[in-house]
Amino acid sequence: MIKNVAILGSTGVIGKKTIDIISKNKKEFKIILLSTNTNVKKLIFQAKKFNVKNLIIADLNEFNKAKKKYKKYKFKLFNSFSVVDELFFKKKIFYTMVSIVGIDGLYPTLKMIKYSQNIGITNKESLICGWNLIQEKLNKFKTNFIPVDSEHFSIFSLIQNQKKDLIKKVFLTASGGPFLNLPSKNFSKITISDAVKHPNWIMGKKISVDSSTMMNKVFEVIEAKNIFEFSLKQLSILIHQKSYVHSLVQFKNGLVKIIAHNPDMSIPIINSIFNFNKKLSNFNVNIKHLNELSLAKVDYKKFPLVKILNLVPDKPSLYETALVCLNDYFVNKFLNKKITYKELIFYIKKYSKYKKFLVLKRKKPHTLKNIMQTRDYVCLKLNTLGI
């Protein structure tokens, strides 16, 4: 029986990798829904190639232009994810990949859980800001969730069938990005093109900048805390330049287990879709990398944003939404040449300690509306500060 698949954010890096995997297994899967924000040209190319009728274009302006341009085609174009209530009312989709970037990915994530047997989520903002809402939906609709980010996929793989009280410490690895070996005194010369050149991974501009500041690792630690219900004291970061080992788990019985694989997101995606049952013949052990692990502690002077984790509470709060929003705000400023790289780090560090944001640590994210109102509040505050 052919299994239906939906890919949200299909024109991004993870979306394209997911499509590539599905295309190599055409006899097993059929894509029935694709979405993009603004990359309509790529979306239409994908829809034609894989005969996908249902397309969601989130940007209203691009949606209106596409409706006129492609009205002769048999595509069903939509501008809202609320349409899934009509499209998938009768039967659950076998697998949904949510690879939308940004906090706007939370609403479609919550929507798709109800209609999915299995769901992969790479939308960091959803897992950081709204994990308690996601978990509630997963339980309610009995939807299977396997983390797709390489670090969380690795942790998931290592602790399956393990008693939680046997886990002492979990280490997430970080490559250190493009500036690991750059002296701090040279940070004032960093350009946008420098910041988006990740040495190991092919990623979008936004997440590449987050990797260079190591803010992405701050978010990944928060994700791990949420998904696996660890305390922040149980989580730590190690620098591993090759991105071959993705996580380490230290058990109280003296064992330390690691997961290693090439820096290729196809591996966690494939295992997420096939529930670890797909045999892969083109991946071999990289003995050279294993002999040169060179694990090291984080240099907090070079990467001061990692210290923001000291401000994060163990229980989910709206403060995490504030962190996501202020980081997005200043990364956007940097990418639009409004601030320098050093100012980017300075402002994120400064406003992570802003009193009006710190009070949000006492407030739990109860609803989607609650989270989105916090986002608007943070953006408004930052705008009124005139930065």
CA–CA separation, 324 and 215 (whole Å):
10
How many CB atoms neighbour CB 201 within 10 A? Answer: 16
Q: Is the per-residue pLDDT at 200 higher than 80?
A: no
CB proximity list for 236: less than 8 A, separation 6 or greater:
169, 170, 171, 172
pLDDT band at 364 (very low <50, low <70, confident <90, very high): very high
Last residue of a domain, one of 145, 166, 186: 145
pLDDT in tens, 62-90: 999 999 999 888 899 999 999 998 887 67
CA–CA separation, 240 and 250 (whole Å):
17
Least confident of 23-32, 195-204, 301-310: 195-204
Q: Is the per-residue pLDDT at 203 higher than 80?
A: no
Q: Is the per-residue pLDDT at 291 higher than 90?
A: no
**322, 174: one domain:** no
**93, 180: one domain:** no
pLDDT of residue 302: 94
178, 197 contact by CB (below 8 A): yes
Q: Per-residue DSSP letters for 41-92?
A: HHHHHHHHHHT--EEEE-SHHHHHHHHHHTTTS--EEES-GGGHHHHTSSS-
* pTM of the complete model beyond 0.75: yes
CA–CA separation, 321 and 156 (whole Å):
24
pLDDT of residue 386: 77
Q: What percent of the chain has pLDDT over 90?
A: 76
Q: Look-up: residue for tokens 């330049």?
A: 241
CATH assignment at residue 36: 3.40.50.720
Residue 309 burial (C-beta neighbours within 10 Å; 0-12, 13-18, 19+): middle
**319, 197: one domain:** no
Element (H, E) at 30: strand 29-36
Round the CA-based radius of gyration of the chain to a whole number and report it.
21
Report which of 317, 269, 271, 244 is spatially closest to residue 121, judged by C-alpha positions. 269
State the virtual CA torsion across 280, 285, 290, 292 in degrees, nearest 10: -110
**63, 113: one domain:** yes
pLDDT of residue 280: 78
pLDDT of residue 281: 73
pLDDT band at 159 (very low <50, low <70, confident <90, very high): very high
pLDDT of residue 201: 67
CA–CA separation, 69 and 44 (whole Å):
11
Least confident of 49-53, 99-103, 287-291: 287-291
pLDDT of residue 89: 64
Q: Is the per-residue pLDDT at 60 higher than 90?
A: yes
Opening angle at CA 66, ends 62 and 72, nearest 5: 175
Report which of 60, 70, 58, 65 is spatially closest to residue 98, judged by C-alpha positions. 58
CA–CA separation, 225 and 65 (whole Å):
42
Residue type, 260: A
Range of the domain at 318: 313-387
pLDDT in tens, 91-111: 789 999 999 988 999 999 999
The sign one gets for the Cα dihedral 156, 23, 53, 35 is positive
Residue type, 313: P
pLDDT of residue 153: 94
For residues 302-315, average pLDDT? 96
Q: How many CA atoms does the CB half-sphere of 25 hold within 13 Å? A: 20
CA–CA separation, 327 and 348 (whole Å):
6
**204, 102: one domain:** no
Query: What total of structural domains would you count in the chain?
Result: 3
**300, 327: one domain:** no
Report which of 305, 304, 323 is spatially closest to residue 313, judged by C-alpha positions. 323
| Secondary structure (3-state) at 227 | helix
**181, 305: one domain:** yes
For residues 358-378, average pLDDT? 95
**161, 259: one domain:** yes
125, 105 contact by CB (below 8 A): yes
Residue type, 189: K
**217, 303: one domain:** yes
Last residue of a domain, one of 145, 166, 192: 145
**305, 350: one domain:** no
Last residue of a domain, one of 128, 145, 162: 145
**Neighbour-count burial for 101-120, b at 16+ CB within 10 Å, e otherwise:** bbbbbbbbbbbbbebbbbbb
For residues 227-239, average pLDDT? 96
Six-digit token string for 41: 């040209």
CA–CA separation, 371 and 366 (whole Å):
8
What is the phi/psi pair of residue 120, to 5°? Answer: -110, 135
**226, 305: one domain:** yes
**329, 232: one domain:** no
Six-digit token string for 99: 């690879």
CA–CA separation, 37 and 43 (whole Å):
10
Opening angle at CA 141, ends 140 and 144, nearest 5: 110
